[in-house]
Amino acid sequence: MTTFAFIAKPRRMMLSLCVALPTALLGTGLGEFAMTTPNIAITRQAMAQSQNLEAAENAVVYVETDRGSGSGVIVENDGLIVTNAHVVAGARTVNVTLRGRSVPAEVVAIGNQNCLDLALLRVANHSNLPTVKWGDISRVSKAQEVFAIGYPGAVQSTSATITRGIVSNLHASRGEIQFDGSINGGNSGGAVVNSNGELLGIATSKLVGTNGYQIDGISFAIAVDKVLTFIESYRRNDPALIGKAILPGSNPDSGHLVQTLTLDGQLTDGVLQQGDSAFCGDSTLADVYVFDAEAGQGVMIDMISQDTGVGLVLVSPSGQAIAVARQEGRNQAAIVLKKLPETGTYSVIAKANQRDRNGRYQLRATEPMLVEEGTLNGRTRTCSDSGHRCQTYPFQGRANQTITVILHQSDFAPYLVLLDSSGQPVATGQTGEAFINFTLAENDWYTLVVSNVDSADSGQFRISVHDTETLIASREISQR
């Protein structure tokens, strides 16, 4: 009996507890009940994140070329797509999968993977396409969670894959985000987004070791501010060197990536500072200027800075660097003098001479009356009975105008003759001087004759003719 009583007592206690429990629940507030319900807030957050990533995924497309495949991101609903330059570089055909079918795409802008590895594609006759939401690079931080969305080349799939990672580092000077998400070649050109589905960058590469193998856990994306700047450059029809020779700045001091340069000798004040563009060849800060000119036209450009050494690069309309000048020291002018080879829009890169150097500078461009490069040799025609050979160059002058002839280089002792339109000499003589001044008598066409003192001499020369008043103003820059 004693044993039975010992067992029965706990059973009555449990019955009493079961009766009391509903009453206790009726008196519990909603907030207290929610605290005892597991993972409701976490579940809602996960659902929102899933919806954001799904929206971002809808804007990521598969890009296929005759050279390989990659990914792209729709940035305008009428069919503008951003991808990597290396995905489409050299391709004869480019196709994009939209709404389940492959359509042709045109490459409308392209950088260079050694500078800015971005390209823009355009698909025709489309509207209301899903587009990506833009993120803010200033709000990206280390250890932030990110997601890479793309089409891995080794995986056959009708939908993009999403991989998770964290931001490992930010490389502001290169405009890159380093993260540890797993990507491969097919992800190139795809989106790297935050948990809100906002674009933080375009996946571009994995780190490659000295043995040529990719290093897992070290991936890179081109930061969203560089992507936006590249798109804006395309919209503004900026020079093709943007993204190829120039890494565009996200905050240029002028407010524009490209400025107009006049050839009238007007002084332009500029500043090289953080946020400006960079010259991809040596990562120096750089500003870009443009001017229109015709084939055969001459140009002289001076740049000088009290803060740093400077350099100039003159780029032709076809994208070729046709003249380069550089000065290491402060207050030394870099001067480009060139007879232009083609008609079109030329670009001038005004840059610091060393990486991480900055400061103010002055820039000036003038149009010389004549710029010529020539050669005296056995094939050059003779112009005297004594067998001297010569080259002749006409130019137009005005009455009482003082001109300056500059002999920039010569492999021989030169003899110069200035003729008027009737062929009569205005001035003659041997020169060993770099600068020679003449005053013209009237409005007329004149001819500059370059010959040699010794008829046996030969070699190359470069010479120019300037309005002295304009030239003095230009030379004053180099003396400040």
Q: How far apart are CA 350 and CA 184, in angstroms?
A: 38
Kindly calculate the radius of gyration of the chain based on its CA atoms and give it in whole angstroms. Answer: 35
Q: In whole angstroms, what separates CA 163 from the centre of its chain?
A: 29
Contact 116, 226 (CB under 8 A): yes
- Confidence at residue 343, expressed as pLDDT on a 0 to 100 scale: 97
Sheet bearing 459-467, strands edge to edge: 370-376, 459-467, 402-410, 435-439
Sheet hosting strand 425-430, strand order edge to edge: 390-397, 444-452, 414-419, 425-430
Is 180 in a helix, a strand, or coil? coil
Candidates 71, 86, 205, 347; catalytic one: 86
Torsion of CA 26, 29, 30, 32, to 10 degrees: -110
Distances (CA, A) of 351 to 238, 289, 477: 18, 11, 17
Q: Please tell me the predicted confidence (pLDDT) of residue 102.
A: 92
Q: Is 256 a catalytic residue?
A: no
- In this structure, how many other beta carbons lie within 10 angstroms of the beta carbon of residue 236? 11
Residues of the chain with pLDDT under 50: 1-35, 208-213, 477-480
The helix (H) or strand (E) run that includes residue 113 is: none
Long-range (24+ apart) CB contacts under 8 A made by 106-112 are 108/80, 108/234, 109/230, 109/233, 109/234, 109/243, 110/85, 110/243, 110/244, 111/85, 111/230, 111/242, 111/243, 111/244, 112/85, 112/243, 112/244, 112/280
Q: What pLDDT does 208 receive? A: 46
The strand pairing partners of 310, in sequence order, are 327, 352
Alpha-carbon distance 190 to 167, whole Å? 16
Q: What is the pLDDT at residue 173?
A: 78
**In degrees rounded to 5, what are phi and psi of residue 401?**
-80, 130
Tokens 């009555």 correspond to: 12
Scanning the structure block, which residue is given the tokens 């020539």?
374
What confidence score (pLDDT) does residue 275 get? 82
Please list, in sequence order, all residues whose beta carbon lies within 8 angstroms of the beta carbon of residue 20, skipping any fewer than 6 positions away.
none
Task: Return the closest-CA partner of residue 135 out of 149, 150, 122, 146.
Answer: 146
Is residue 171 among the annotated active site residues? no
Residues 227, 214: Cα–Cα separation, whole Å: 25
Per-residue model confidence (pLDDT) at position 305:
95
Q: How far is residue 29's CA from residue 387's CA, in Å, rounded to a whole number?
A: 114
394: which 2 tokens?
Answer: 């006409």
Element of type H or E holding 348: strand 344-352
The one catalytic residue among 71, 188, 219, 233 = 188
Longest CA–CA span in the chain (Å) reads 151
Provide the token pair at 469.
């008043």
Q: Would you call 307 a catalytic residue per the annotation?
A: no
| Domains, the chain, with CATH or none | 37-235 (2.40.10.120), 253-366 (2.60.120.380), 370-478 (2.60.120.380)
Pairing status of strand 133-134 against strand 198-208:
parallel
Nearest to 347 by CA among 274, 244, 235: 244
The residue written with tokens 């009453």 in the block is 23
Rounded CA gap, 441 and 92, in Å? 61
- Strand partners of residue 298: 339
What residue type is assigned to position 200 of the chain? L
Give the pLDDT of residue 193.
Answer: 96
The whole-number pLDDT of residue 1 equals 42
Per-residue pLDDT tens digits for 207-229: 544 444 455 568 899 999 999 99
Catalytic residue among 66, 69, 117, 171: 117
DSSP E strands: which ranges in 144-262?
Answer: 145-150, 161-171, 176-179, 191-193, 198-208, 214-223, 246-247, 258-260
CB 56 within 8 A of CB 191: yes
- pLDDT of amino acid 156: 53
Q: On the CB side of 475, how many CA atoms lie within 13 Å of its CA? A: 10
Residue 308 exposure: Cα atoms within 13 Å on the Cβ side: 21
Which residue from 80, 91, 83, 84 is spatially nearest to 124, judged by alpha carbons? 80
Q: Give the separation between CA 315 and CA 105, rounded to whole angstroms.
A: 29
> What tens digit of pLDDT does each residue of 21-75 get?
444 444 444 444 444 555 666 677 777 788 999 999 999 999 999 999 999 999 9
Confidence at residue 49, expressed as pLDDT on a 0 to 100 scale: 83
Q: What is the pLDDT of residue 38?
A: 55
pLDDT score for 17: 37
pTM: 0.79
Separation between Cα atoms, residue 228 and residue 205, nearest integer Å: 19
pLDDT at residue number 15: 37
